Amino acid sequence: MLSIGDLSKRTGVKVPTIRYYEQMGLIEAAERSEGNQRRYERHDLERLAFIRHARDLGLDIPAIRELIALSQHPDLPCVNADRIAADHLIAVREKIEKLKKLEHELERIISHCDGHSIEDCYVIRALSDHGLCEGEH
Amino acid sequence: MLSIGDLSKRTGVKVPTIRYYEQMGLIEAAERSEGNQRRYERHDLERLAFIRHARDLGLDIPAIRELIALSQHPDLPCVNADRIAADHLIAVREKIEKLKKLEHELERIISHCDGHSIEDCYVIRALSDHGLCEGEH
DNA sequence: CTTGAAGCTCTAGTCACTGGAGGAATTATC
DNA sequence: GATAATTCCTCCAGTGACTAGAGCTTCAAG
Protein backbone atom coordinates (compact mmCIF):
# COMPACT_ATOMS: atom_id res chain seq x y z
CA MET A 1 0.00 0.00 0.00
CA LEU A 2 1.40 3.33 -1.09
CA SER A 3 0.66 6.75 0.31
CA ILE A 4 -0.08 9.56 -2.11
CA GLY A 5 3.46 10.83 -1.56
CA ASP A 6 4.94 7.45 -2.48
CA LEU A 7 2.81 7.32 -5.59
CA SER A 8 3.94 10.82 -6.46
CA LYS A 9 7.61 9.93 -6.13
CA ARG A 10 7.26 6.78 -8.18
CA THR A 11 5.39 8.38 -11.07
CA GLY A 12 6.72 11.91 -11.02
CA VAL A 13 3.17 13.25 -10.76
CA LYS A 14 2.79 15.87 -8.07
CA VAL A 15 0.59 15.16 -5.08
CA PRO A 16 -2.02 17.86 -5.79
CA THR A 17 -2.15 16.69 -9.39
CA ILE A 18 -2.96 13.15 -8.30
CA ARG A 19 -5.85 14.49 -6.23
CA TYR A 20 -6.90 16.56 -9.21
CA TYR A 21 -6.94 13.48 -11.46
CA GLU A 22 -9.11 11.71 -8.92
CA GLN A 23 -11.50 14.64 -8.98
CA MET A 24 -11.55 14.56 -12.77
CA GLY A 25 -12.38 10.88 -12.70
CA LEU A 26 -9.16 9.70 -14.35
CA ILE A 27 -8.26 7.52 -11.39
CA GLU A 28 -10.68 5.86 -9.06
CA ALA A 29 -11.14 7.30 -5.60
CA ALA A 30 -8.50 5.54 -3.55
CA GLU A 31 -9.15 3.43 -0.51
CA ARG A 32 -8.52 5.26 2.72
CA SER A 33 -6.55 4.49 5.84
CA GLU A 34 -8.24 4.63 9.22
CA GLY A 35 -7.16 8.23 9.42
CA ASN A 36 -8.73 9.05 6.02
CA GLN A 37 -5.51 9.12 4.02
CA ARG A 38 -5.39 7.74 0.48
CA ARG A 39 -3.80 4.32 0.01
CA TYR A 40 -2.81 3.01 -3.40
CA GLU A 41 -1.85 -0.30 -4.99
CA ARG A 42 0.15 -1.40 -8.00
CA HIS A 43 -2.97 -1.09 -10.11
CA ASP A 44 -3.15 2.65 -9.36
CA LEU A 45 0.53 3.07 -10.09
CA GLU A 46 0.02 1.67 -13.57
CA ARG A 47 -3.01 3.78 -14.21
CA LEU A 48 -1.22 6.92 -13.16
CA ALA A 49 1.81 6.06 -15.30
CA PHE A 50 -0.54 5.64 -18.24
CA ILE A 51 -2.05 9.07 -17.60
CA ARG A 52 1.32 10.68 -17.15
CA HIS A 53 2.54 9.18 -20.36
CA ALA A 54 -0.50 10.34 -22.28
CA ARG A 55 -0.16 13.85 -20.85
CA ASP A 56 3.49 13.90 -21.85
CA LEU A 57 2.34 13.18 -25.36
CA GLY A 58 0.08 16.19 -25.07
CA LEU A 59 -3.27 14.43 -24.94
CA ASP A 60 -5.95 16.29 -23.04
CA ILE A 61 -8.02 14.92 -20.22
CA PRO A 62 -11.15 14.02 -22.19
CA ALA A 63 -8.98 12.06 -24.66
CA ILE A 64 -7.27 10.26 -21.80
CA ARG A 65 -10.60 9.47 -20.22
CA GLU A 66 -11.67 7.89 -23.49
CA LEU A 67 -8.46 5.89 -23.84
CA ILE A 68 -8.85 4.56 -20.32
CA ALA A 69 -12.42 3.55 -21.05
CA LEU A 70 -11.28 1.82 -24.23
CA SER A 71 -8.42 0.04 -22.50
CA GLN A 72 -10.96 -1.61 -20.26
CA HIS A 73 -12.65 -3.34 -23.18
CA PRO A 74 -9.84 -5.42 -24.65
CA ASP A 75 -12.16 -7.15 -27.11
CA LEU A 76 -13.27 -4.07 -28.97
CA PRO A 77 -11.50 -3.03 -32.14
CA CYS A 78 -9.00 -0.28 -31.52
CA VAL A 79 -10.01 2.13 -34.27
CA ASN A 80 -11.14 4.65 -31.70
CA ALA A 81 -7.83 4.61 -29.88
CA ASP A 82 -6.05 4.98 -33.18
CA ARG A 83 -8.28 7.86 -34.14
CA ILE A 84 -7.49 9.71 -30.90
CA ALA A 85 -3.79 9.34 -31.54
CA ALA A 86 -4.11 10.26 -35.22
CA ASP A 87 -6.20 13.35 -34.48
CA HIS A 88 -3.67 14.42 -31.95
CA LEU A 89 -0.87 13.92 -34.42
CA ILE A 90 -2.65 16.21 -36.85
CA ALA A 91 -3.04 18.84 -34.15
CA VAL A 92 0.63 18.56 -33.24
CA ARG A 93 1.65 19.01 -36.87
CA GLU A 94 -0.55 22.06 -37.19
CA LYS A 95 1.04 23.60 -34.13
CA ILE A 96 4.49 22.92 -35.53
CA GLU A 97 3.58 24.64 -38.78
CA LYS A 98 2.27 27.70 -36.99
CA LEU A 99 5.34 27.94 -34.80
CA LYS A 100 7.66 27.61 -37.78
CA LYS A 101 5.96 30.55 -39.42
CA LEU A 102 6.43 32.53 -36.23
CA GLU A 103 10.05 31.46 -36.09
CA HIS A 104 10.73 32.76 -39.59
CA GLU A 105 8.94 36.01 -38.97
CA LEU A 106 10.81 36.61 -35.73
CA GLU A 107 14.13 35.76 -37.37
CA ARG A 108 13.41 38.17 -40.15
CA ILE A 109 12.35 40.99 -37.85
CA ILE A 110 15.35 40.56 -35.59
CA SER A 111 17.86 40.32 -38.42
CA HIS A 112 16.55 43.54 -39.95
CA CYS A 113 17.10 45.56 -36.83
CA ASP A 114 20.33 47.50 -36.65
CA GLY A 115 20.10 47.75 -32.87
CA HIS A 116 20.44 51.49 -32.57
CA SER A 117 17.48 53.51 -31.45
CA ILE A 118 13.85 52.68 -30.83
CA GLU A 119 12.97 55.20 -33.48
CA ASP A 120 14.49 53.01 -36.19
CA CYS A 121 14.00 49.69 -34.44
CA TYR A 122 12.70 47.17 -36.90
CA VAL A 123 11.16 45.11 -34.13
CA ILE A 124 8.95 48.00 -33.09
CA ARG A 125 8.31 49.12 -36.64
CA ALA A 126 7.34 45.66 -37.79
CA LEU A 127 4.81 45.41 -34.99
CA SER A 128 3.38 48.81 -35.78
CA ASP A 129 3.05 48.20 -39.46
CA HIS A 130 1.62 44.97 -40.71
CA GLY A 131 2.74 45.89 -44.20
CA LEU A 132 6.29 44.99 -43.18
CA CYS A 133 5.36 41.36 -42.68
CA GLU A 134 6.30 38.71 -45.16
CA GLY A 135 3.45 36.22 -45.01
CA GLU A 136 0.05 36.44 -43.46
CA HIS A 137 -0.28 35.40 -39.84
CA MET B 1 -14.64 58.65 -33.78
CA LEU B 2 -15.11 54.92 -33.76
CA SER B 3 -17.33 52.85 -31.52
CA ILE B 4 -15.83 49.77 -29.90
CA GLY B 5 -17.63 47.66 -32.50
CA ASP B 6 -16.06 49.63 -35.36
CA LEU B 7 -12.64 49.23 -33.80
CA SER B 8 -13.28 45.54 -33.43
CA LYS B 9 -14.23 45.15 -37.09
CA ARG B 10 -11.23 47.11 -38.28
CA THR B 11 -8.65 45.26 -36.22
CA GLY B 12 -10.18 41.80 -35.92
CA VAL B 13 -9.96 42.01 -32.13
CA LYS B 14 -13.18 41.00 -30.43
CA VAL B 15 -15.12 43.57 -28.44
CA PRO B 16 -14.69 41.92 -25.02
CA THR B 17 -11.00 41.52 -25.78
CA ILE B 18 -10.63 45.23 -26.41
CA ARG B 19 -12.22 45.93 -23.04
CA TYR B 20 -9.92 43.34 -21.52
CA TYR B 21 -6.86 45.07 -23.00
CA GLU B 22 -8.05 48.33 -21.53
CA GLN B 23 -8.36 46.67 -18.15
CA MET B 24 -4.85 45.23 -18.52
CA GLY B 25 -3.50 48.66 -19.29
CA LEU B 26 -2.42 47.89 -22.86
CA ILE B 27 -4.63 50.60 -24.28
CA GLU B 28 -5.62 53.79 -22.56
CA ALA B 29 -9.13 54.11 -21.19
CA ALA B 30 -11.10 55.52 -24.11
CA GLU B 31 -13.04 58.74 -24.09
CA ARG B 32 -16.74 58.24 -23.59
CA SER B 33 -19.84 59.47 -25.39
CA GLU B 34 -22.57 61.28 -23.48
CA GLY B 35 -24.16 57.91 -22.94
CA ASN B 36 -20.93 56.41 -21.51
CA GLN B 37 -19.93 54.44 -24.59
CA ARG B 38 -16.29 54.17 -25.61
CA ARG B 39 -15.14 56.33 -28.52
CA TYR B 40 -11.85 55.73 -30.31
CA GLU B 41 -9.57 57.57 -32.71
CA ARG B 42 -6.96 56.59 -35.28
CA HIS B 43 -4.34 56.59 -32.55
CA ASP B 44 -6.18 53.78 -30.73
CA LEU B 45 -6.58 51.85 -33.96
CA GLU B 46 -2.82 51.83 -34.43
CA ARG B 47 -2.16 50.83 -30.86
CA LEU B 48 -4.60 47.97 -31.07
CA ALA B 49 -3.14 46.79 -34.36
CA PHE B 50 0.28 46.77 -32.70
CA ILE B 51 -1.06 44.64 -29.85
CA ARG B 52 -2.85 42.30 -32.19
CA HIS B 53 0.26 41.86 -34.23
CA ALA B 54 2.40 41.15 -31.20
CA ARG B 55 -0.14 38.62 -29.89
CA ASP B 56 -0.18 36.93 -33.29
CA LEU B 57 3.56 36.52 -32.90
CA GLY B 58 2.88 34.85 -29.58
CA LEU B 59 4.19 37.55 -27.26
CA ASP B 60 2.52 37.66 -23.88
CA ILE B 61 0.92 40.67 -22.28
CA PRO B 62 3.82 41.73 -20.03
CA ALA B 63 6.14 41.63 -23.06
CA ILE B 64 3.71 43.73 -25.07
CA ARG B 65 3.39 46.19 -22.22
CA GLU B 66 7.15 46.57 -22.25
CA LEU B 67 7.30 47.02 -26.02
CA ILE B 68 4.64 49.70 -25.85
CA ALA B 69 6.54 51.51 -23.13
CA LEU B 70 9.72 51.31 -25.20
CA SER B 71 8.01 52.52 -28.34
CA GLN B 72 7.16 55.70 -26.49
CA HIS B 73 10.81 56.55 -25.98
CA PRO B 74 12.14 56.78 -29.53
CA ASP B 75 15.53 58.03 -28.37
CA LEU B 76 16.47 55.04 -26.28
CA PRO B 77 18.57 52.28 -27.78
CA CYS B 78 16.48 49.34 -28.84
CA VAL B 79 18.44 46.52 -27.24
CA ASN B 80 15.56 45.81 -24.90
CA ALA B 81 13.08 45.45 -27.72
CA ASP B 82 15.51 43.19 -29.52
CA ARG B 83 15.99 41.12 -26.41
CA ILE B 84 12.24 40.58 -26.02
CA ALA B 85 12.01 39.37 -29.60
CA ALA B 86 15.13 37.21 -29.30
CA ASP B 87 13.97 35.60 -26.05
CA HIS B 88 10.68 34.85 -27.65
CA LEU B 89 12.37 33.33 -30.67
CA ILE B 90 14.27 30.98 -28.36
CA ALA B 91 11.05 29.97 -26.64
CA VAL B 92 9.39 29.35 -30.00
CA ARG B 93 12.27 27.15 -31.12
CA GLU B 94 12.12 25.14 -27.93
CA LYS B 95 8.42 24.55 -28.42
CA ILE B 96 9.04 23.40 -31.97
CA GLU B 97 11.65 20.92 -30.81
CA LYS B 98 9.35 19.48 -28.19
CA LEU B 99 6.50 19.16 -30.63
CA LYS B 100 8.72 17.45 -33.19
CA LYS B 101 9.64 14.81 -30.64
CA LEU B 102 5.97 14.29 -29.92
CA GLU B 103 5.28 14.06 -33.62
CA HIS B 104 7.85 11.30 -34.09
CA GLU B 105 6.64 9.37 -31.08
CA LEU B 106 3.03 9.57 -32.19
CA GLU B 107 3.95 8.52 -35.73
CA ARG B 108 5.82 5.56 -34.40
CA ILE B 109 3.06 4.47 -32.06
CA ILE B 110 0.40 4.79 -34.73
CA SER B 111 2.40 2.99 -37.40
CA HIS B 112 3.01 0.05 -35.07
CA CYS B 113 -0.64 -0.57 -34.44
CA ASP B 114 -2.29 -3.20 -36.59
CA GLY B 115 -5.73 -1.78 -35.88
CA HIS B 116 -7.37 -4.95 -34.66
CA SER B 117 -8.32 -5.22 -31.02
CA ILE B 118 -7.68 -3.06 -28.00
CA GLU B 119 -5.92 -6.01 -26.46
CA ASP B 120 -3.10 -5.78 -29.01
CA CYS B 121 -3.43 -2.07 -29.72
CA TYR B 122 -0.01 -0.51 -29.81
CA VAL B 123 -1.42 2.90 -28.94
CA ILE B 124 -2.79 1.59 -25.66
CA ARG B 125 0.20 -0.62 -25.00
CA ALA B 126 2.68 2.17 -25.62
CA LEU B 127 0.86 4.36 -23.13
CA SER B 128 0.77 1.60 -20.55
CA ASP B 129 4.39 0.68 -20.89
CA HIS B 130 7.00 3.38 -21.00
CA GLY B 131 9.55 0.76 -22.04
CA LEU B 132 8.04 0.81 -25.51
CA CYS B 133 9.07 4.42 -26.07
CA GLU B 134 11.97 5.36 -28.24
CA GLY B 135 13.40 8.46 -26.62
CA GLU B 136 12.81 9.99 -23.26
CA HIS B 137 9.97 12.49 -22.98
C1' DC C 1 5.44 10.84 23.86
C1' DT C 2 6.89 14.34 21.26
C1' DT C 3 7.96 16.36 17.05
C1' DG C 4 8.10 17.18 12.32
C1' DA C 5 6.75 15.58 7.97
C1' DA C 6 3.10 14.41 5.26
C1' DG C 7 -1.71 14.11 4.74
C1' DC C 8 -6.60 16.14 4.54
C1' DT C 9 -10.30 19.66 2.50
C1' DC C 10 -11.46 23.86 0.54
C1' DT C 11 -10.59 27.97 -1.87
C1' DA C 12 -8.43 30.85 -5.06
C1' DG C 13 -5.00 31.99 -8.53
C1' DT C 14 -2.67 31.20 -13.14
C1' DC C 15 -3.19 33.09 -18.69
C1' DA C 16 -5.67 35.40 -22.17
C1' DC C 17 -9.53 35.63 -23.14
C1' DT C 18 -14.87 34.39 -23.89
C1' DG C 19 -19.71 34.33 -22.91
C1' DG C 20 -23.91 35.54 -20.57
C1' DA C 21 -27.29 38.36 -17.75
C1' DG C 22 -29.64 42.38 -17.32
C1' DG C 23 -30.07 46.86 -18.54
C1' DA C 24 -28.95 51.51 -21.12
C1' DA C 25 -27.77 53.92 -25.40
C1' DT C 26 -27.65 54.40 -30.19
C1' DT C 27 -29.11 53.78 -34.93
C1' DA C 28 -32.41 52.51 -38.52
C1' DT C 29 -36.90 52.19 -40.14
C1' DC C 30 -41.48 53.71 -40.64
C1' DG D 1 -41.31 61.40 -33.70
C1' DA D 2 -42.23 56.61 -32.25
C1' DT D 3 -40.64 52.19 -32.29
C1' DA D 4 -37.67 48.35 -33.15
C1' DA D 5 -33.23 46.35 -33.74
C1' DT D 6 -28.72 46.62 -32.76
C1' DT D 7 -24.96 47.82 -30.08
C1' DC D 8 -23.19 49.17 -25.91
C1' DC D 9 -22.46 49.10 -20.71
C1' DT D 10 -20.89 46.56 -16.20
C1' DC D 11 -20.20 42.64 -13.60
C1' DC D 12 -19.56 37.87 -12.97
C1' DA D 13 -18.28 33.22 -14.19
C1' DG D 14 -16.04 29.77 -17.01
C1' DT D 15 -12.14 27.74 -19.90
C1' DG D 16 -7.63 23.73 -19.04
C1' DA D 17 -4.64 21.63 -16.28
C1' DC D 18 -2.90 22.35 -12.78
C1' DT D 19 -0.61 24.98 -8.51
C1' DA D 20 -0.40 27.21 -4.03
C1' DG D 21 -1.95 28.41 0.41
C1' DA D 22 -4.68 28.25 4.95
C1' DG D 23 -5.88 25.72 8.67
C1' DC D 24 -6.30 21.41 10.47
C1' DT D 25 -5.35 16.09 11.28
C1' DT D 26 -2.65 11.88 10.98
C1' DC D 27 1.43 9.30 10.67
C1' DA D 28 6.26 7.60 11.48
C1' DA D 29 10.66 8.06 13.78
C1' DG D 30 13.34 8.55 17.72
pLDDT in tens, A47-97: 999 999 999 999 999 999 999 999 999 888 889 999 999 999 999 999 999
Q: What is the ipTM of this complex?
A: 0.84
Residues 66-125 in B having a C-beta less than 7 A from any atom of strand C are none
Give yes or no for CB of A71 within 7 Å of strand D. Answer: no
Which nucleotides of strand C lie within 7 A of protein CB?
6-10, 15-20, 24-27
Nearest to A118 by CA among B50, B54, B74: B74
Supply the pLDDT for residue A81. Answer: 92
H helix or E strand, kind and range, residue B32: strand B31-32
Model confidence at B131, in pLDDT bands (50, 70, 90)? low
Distance set, CA A88 to CA A25, B47, B115 (Å):
21, 36, 17
Distance of C1' in D25 from CA in B96, Å: 46
Supply the pLDDT for residue A68. Answer: 94
H helix or E strand, kind and range, residue B108: helix B79-112
Q: Which residues pair with A40 in a beta bridge?
A: A2
Per-residue model confidence as pLDDT tens digits over B41-86: 999 999 999 999 999 999 999 999 999 999 999 888 889 999 999 9
**Signed CA dihedral, B53, B56, B58, B60: sign only:** positive
